Structure 1
Amino acid sequence: MLSDLVKKFLYGSGLLGLYHRFRNRRTLTVIMFHRVIDPSDPRWASCDPDYTLDTALFDRCITFFQQHYNIVSVNEVLAARRGETCLPARALLITFDDGWSDNVDFALPRLRRAGLPALLFLVADVVGRRLPFYQERLVGGWRLGKVKAADLLAAAGQAQPEAGNDMGGLRRAIAAIEQLDDNDREAALAPFAEAMDDGHRHMVLAEELAVLERGGIAIGLHGKTHTPMTRASDLDAELAGARAQVAPFLDSAEPPTTMSFPHGRYTPAIARRAHEAGYELIFTSDPTINPVADRPDWLLGRIGFEQPGIVDGAGRFRPDKLALLLFRKPQRVLETA
């Protein structure tokens, strides 16, 4: 592990930036975000900290991207894929998953102020829905002191009275709940329904999609239900069905041509099927940088990061940590065969 002093020197001296300018010149980096919330907002108390950045840190990330990359829109990536243009050196695309209302409240104004485009991958069924996915509701209930990990494990049929009630224990309990079939999961979560509701609206409204589009955030798909594609009972509904469902909400009324895989789960066969369903660009959660020597491939990797990984012990932004995380990721064309 590099010491903090070495990390700071490599970044502060410009050596790390020079390495990036040469190594990643002909690449497309795709950044994966989920939620952006101001700590003063009531949703901050119940959000999943692993998938949420506070607004101040998001601002610092935007500044970092502007310093080290040429930020592009999805339309520019699509044009490059079609051979109509070339991407600039060190291209970067900003994406968001799921369809959170805080993307409208907090991410959009900051991107507009910076004059930057982005792409939001929307779960079709969340439009107009108040409550988030059950995983996030369980995290919220746990953070508010209303849900215990041991009780969740018991509900999943894995009673462990000594199970820790820390975040690790909660993640293990949620993983156990995820393994249940739909009917068993619904029955297991029923006793926690009240504890899983923090009283706030978390997901986008139909009219907010137009606000996002007009603000420079394009809309892609993230499946119909947020079910992992590898477990979907109706893959056609998750792919083509989601496109048809969302199209009427969009300014163009045209089905989206981009998507990302829920939970990052897919197989090459599922990727090909999505491509055949009309998605021109398909994004994974494989943490790779995408080579674009000629043009970008249709199956692309994305890089996500958590707030603790890019700050110091006092919560201050560390650009050197973000640089080391992003600049050195492997460059790889993803397998589609």
Structure 2
Amino acid sequence: MLKDVSKKLLYTTGLLGLYHRLRNADSLTVVMFHRTLSPDDPRWTTCDPDYTLATGWLEQSLAFFRRHYNVVSLDQVLASRRTGAALPKRALLITFDDGWADNADYALPALERAGLPALMFVVADAIGTRQPFFQERLIAAWRRGAVTVRGLAAALPVGEAAATPTDEESMTALRAVIARLEALESGVRKQVLAPFMAQLDDGYRHMVTVEELQRLQAGGVALGLHGKTHTPMRLAADLDAELSGARMSLAHQLGHANASAESMSFPHGSFDADIAQRARESGYELVFTSVPVLNPTAPDVGWLLGRTGFETDAVVDAQGRFRDDWLALYLFRKQARRLA
């Protein structure tokens, strides 16, 4: 309790804000969201709770950004990279990963009300599909009681099943099974999941459509790529397809044959130095990682940028209250480091 009171005092007295204004003046903070849903939305009850913010929490996050940062657009960051134009002090870029339909339903109106730009990294092959990636489908099915951790673990190949704990039905145990599935070759994983596919369809549409992408763009949300298939880049059988292929696919779906995304982020945060360089050579001017560092802006902005993940427990306490002081401690103290 004393520790919690100390955090509140540091924030409410303005000491944390002063620390931030002095320490982070010449840095670009990039925050990474995934989903945002209204608790009244039927998708809320089975979403991944770690990566989904209630709409109210998102709005409070945006208000926090307006209070402590100068929120910038992708175009501003690109201009700084291309021309050396200075970004404002304590610059912050808002990003969303994957291409969720709820970003158009809820995040876009919240951004428009706040008058803030953002950037969405979309998975090219997921555009227009109803069901999400297998990880989220498993979490949703487990939360509604359609599958069990024990049943999923028993379906794993013999060696994988033996190494997976199945003594409890918990989110932690489920994530352990999902990690085992992610490590499997895609064909093997499809075989393992085949008996469960009927239970994994919740009947809702989760992924963004072309029309929603166009609406997001019109509302100030720029588009980047998050791979073609959402495969971790270090496991991709065809890296060119995940990089160049994703750009061509998005341009085709949007009907702009000569348009191409200038930015991308790595699915699952999976990359190495060679993959980052391949991404740059594929034409992406800005390449975003999941390395949680602040990006120096002097003398210029780098091409390989860190991002800070925005998980629910970083901003919401056990009573479901949004905590500005937690968010300040979480963001303001990140290390500033140039990645390339």
Counterpart of 1:121 in 2: which secondary structure? Answer: strand
1:22 aligned partner: 22
- State yes or no: 1:301 paired with 2:282: no
- Quick one: distance in 1 between partners of 2:267 and 2:211? 23
Map 1:151-190; keep pairs closer than 5 Å. 151-157=151-157, 158-159=161-162, 162-190=166-194
- After TM superposition, the score normalised by the length of structure 2 is 0.96
Match of 2:196 among 192, 199, 218: 192
Q: How far has the Cα of 1:308 moved from its partner? A: 2.3
CA contact (8 A) 2:72 2:93 kept: yes
- State yes or no: 1:238 paired with 2:235: no
2:143 aligned partner: 143
CA contact (8 A) 1:156 1:180 kept: no
2:103 aligned partner: 103
Match of 1:276 among 254, 278, 281: 281
CA contact (8 A) 2:72 2:92 kept: yes
1:196-235 CA-partner distances (Å, limit 9, x unpaired): 1111000011111110100000000000000000000000
Counterpart of 1:165 in 2: which secondary structure? Answer: coil
- Quick one: distance in 2 between partners of 1:166 and 1:40? 24
Q: How far has the Cα of 1:293 moved from its partner? A: 0.9
In structure 1, what residue type is equivalent to 2:306? G
Counterpart of 2:338 in 1: which secondary structure? Answer: coil
Q: How far has the Cα of 1:304 moved from its partner? A: 1.0
In structure 2, what residue type is equivalent to 1:315? G
The farther-off stretch of 309-318 and 326-335 is 309-318
Q: How far has the Cα of 1:22 moved from its partner? A: 0.4
1:312 aligned partner: 317
In structure 1, what residue type is equivalent to 2:140? G
1:268-325 CA-partner distances (Å, limit 9, x unpaired): 1100010000000000000000011111100000001221231222111110000000
Map 1:1-337; keep pairs closer than 5 Å. 3-157=3-157, 158-159=161-162, 162-250=166-254, 253=257, 254-335=259-340
The farther-off stretch of 87-96 and 38-47 is 38-47
CA contact (8 A) 2:123 2:229 kept: yes
- After TM superposition, the score normalised by the length of structure 1 is 0.97
Counterpart of 1:195 in 2: which secondary structure? Answer: helix
In structure 2, what residue type is equivalent to 1:217? V
- Quick one: distance in 1 between partners of 2:239 and 2:252? 21
- Structure 1 residue runs of 5 or longer lacking an equivalent are none
CA contact (8 A) 1:152 1:177 kept: no
After superposition, the Cα gap between the structure-2 partners of 1:179 and 1:21, relative to the gap in structure 1 and judged at 3 Å, is same
- Quick one: distance in 1 between partners of 2:146 and 2:166? 18
What's the % identity of the aligned pairs? 57
In structure 2, what residue type is equivalent to 1:111? L
CA contact (8 A) 1:210 1:251 kept: no
Cα RMSD, aligned residues only: 1.4
Counterpart of 1:57 in 2: which secondary structure? Answer: helix
- Structure 2 residue runs of 5 or longer lacking an equivalent are none
- Quick one: distance in 1 between partners of 2:187 and 2:143? 26
In structure 2, what residue type is equivalent to 1:98? D
Q: How far has the Cα of 1:50 moved from its partner? A: 1.1
Q: How far has the Cα of 1:243 moved from its partner? A: 0.4
- Quick one: distance in 2 between partners of 1:207 and 1:256? 17
- Quick one: distance in 2 between partners of 1:297 and 1:101? 31
1:53-81 CA-partner distances (Å, limit 9, x unpaired): 00000010000000000000000000000
In structure 2, what residue type is equivalent to 1:325? Y
CA contact (8 A) 2:153 2:166 kept: no
After superposition, the Cα gap between the structure-2 partners of 1:2 and 1:129, relative to the gap in structure 1 and judged at 3 Å, is farther
